[in-house]
Amino acid sequence: MRNKTMKLIHYTFRNLSIPLLIILTAWACSFYFIIMHEIDDETNDSLENYKEIIIKSVLADSTLLRDHVDIMTRYYIREVPESEAELDKDEFFDSTTYIEIEMEDEPVRVLRTWFMTADRKFYELTIETSTLEKEDLAEAIFWSIVILYTSLLCCILLVSHFVFRSSSRPLYRLVNWLKAYRPGKQVAPLDNPTRVNEYKVLNKAIEETIYRSSEMYNEQKQFVENASHELQTPLAICLNKLELLSENPDCTEEQLVEIAGINQTLRGIIKMNKSLLLLSRIDNRQFTDTAEIELNGLLRKFLPDFEEMYEYKQIKVSYTETGILRCRMNESLASTLLSNLLKNAFVHNIENGSIAITVTARKLVIANSSDSPGLNKATLFNRFEKQTHKKDSTGLGLAIVQSIASLYHIDIKYVYDGVHQFILTFK
């Protein structure tokens, strides 16, 4: 499965958002619970003060040992056995109580404690205080934190986004300059002013690298073209001299056989020289002209020529179209791609064999019979890799196919299931 890519700013923005989200969420929760704890603590202090007042009043005047109820606070006193009284313990908890005026249950904070009178009687004191204000305050605090938290997060991310875009502007100018660079063409000067030292160093290093690459490219291109040209001339001369020599009436039959062998070898060298030159030009991306090519028409154009050329093998060819296969590429390379695949299917076939060609809107499949087993996928497209022992094979045909496919991002796959299949998937 192909990994998804994203822009640097989006990648940084995402990686910044996740820790900020976690940190600010933890901060918001902590702040909320600290505030609520402080509210409960203040309420508990009020209840303890109220407890001290009530107990002092009761101990001073036993007639006050009765319940008291008002709008905001109430307390209940009941006598308990000594075994239930926990004189050194105060219990705080939240509860609800029914308010007759409101005719509904309302939240209260409760303190439960125990005390002993002078006549050694034990009482349980329960004090309730309304927390209506606490609930409203808690709700107000919660929504304030949510709004503050969201606003703060958005502001931090927006500021980070704009700061990053501003800081990375020289980087994006450098990337656009690199994208516009084409080997073999005039390199435009890099106009990328910046006050950041690291960007200055990066600009200088990449600019020097590009200029060096351009020089090396031009030198390599010139060398390959010169070498190819200089080789073709002496090879052509050798072929002509061999032909003249073979026409000499004094040549014996053995000499003619030797001359024919040398002639075949020289033709193989010429063919290899042309293939290597083509590979070099493909790798150097010298085929810059592209057009919308319909591969169906090219296939129908090439097939009769190959069928006629290899008629002696009596190969049965089937051609199936289920869609029009179009792609944008150099017309010369499109012709080379198809002719090399077709030649491979005919050359490595058997007598009375078969070739099945299937074309869809996105795929081209060429399958051929052969007397050889499945080929080695790991080395199949390597240069000078000969999977068979055909004398006229240079071992460069499929390497050229692979180079063209890579240049135009065509996925090429080899499958063997009794027949050899080359499957090309176009974007």
Q: What is the pLDDT of residues 251-263, one digit of tens each?
A: 777 877 888 888 7
**Mean pLDDT across the stretch 359-363?**
90
More confident residue, 36 or 316: 316
- Tell me whether strands 354-359 and 363-368 are parallel, antiparallel or unpaired: antiparallel
Model pLDDT, residue 1: 41
Q: What mean pLDDT value characterizes the chain?
A: 80
Of the candidate ranges 282-291, 317-326, 359-368, the one whose mean pLDDT is the lowest? 282-291
Question: 41-55, 166-180, 344-358 — which one is most confidently predicted on average?
Answer: 344-358
Query: Per-residue DSSP letters for 184-198?
Result: TSPPPP-----S-HH
243 pLDDT above the threshold of 60: yes
Neighbours of 364 (CB within 10 A): 23
- 397-407 and 331-347 helices cross at what angle (nearest 10)? 140
Pairs from 316-320 (Cβ < 8 Å, separation ≥ 24):
316/352, 316/353, 316/354, 316/355, 317/354, 317/355, 317/356, 317/357, 318/354, 318/355, 318/356, 318/357, 319/357, 319/359, 320/356, 320/357, 320/358, 320/359
Is residue 391's pLDDT more than 60?
no
* The pLDDT value given to residue 99: 65
Does residue 305 carry a pLDDT above 80?
yes
Q: What integer pLDDT is reported at residue 71 of this predicted model?
A: 55
Q: Supply the pLDDT for residue 389.
A: 54
Q: Which residue has the higher pLDDT, 116 or 130?
A: 116
Q: How far apart are CA 157 and CA 164, in angstroms?
A: 10
- Helices 132-167, 169-180: inter-axial angle, 10-degree rounding: 40
pLDDT above 70 for 27: yes
Half-sphere exposure of 389 (CA within 13 A, CB side): 2
Separation between Cα atoms, residue 359 and residue 423, nearest integer Å = 10
Contact in structure between 35 and 29 (CB atoms under 8 Å):
no
Least confident of 31-40, 184-193, 278-287: 278-287
Percent of the chain with pLDDT over 90: 4
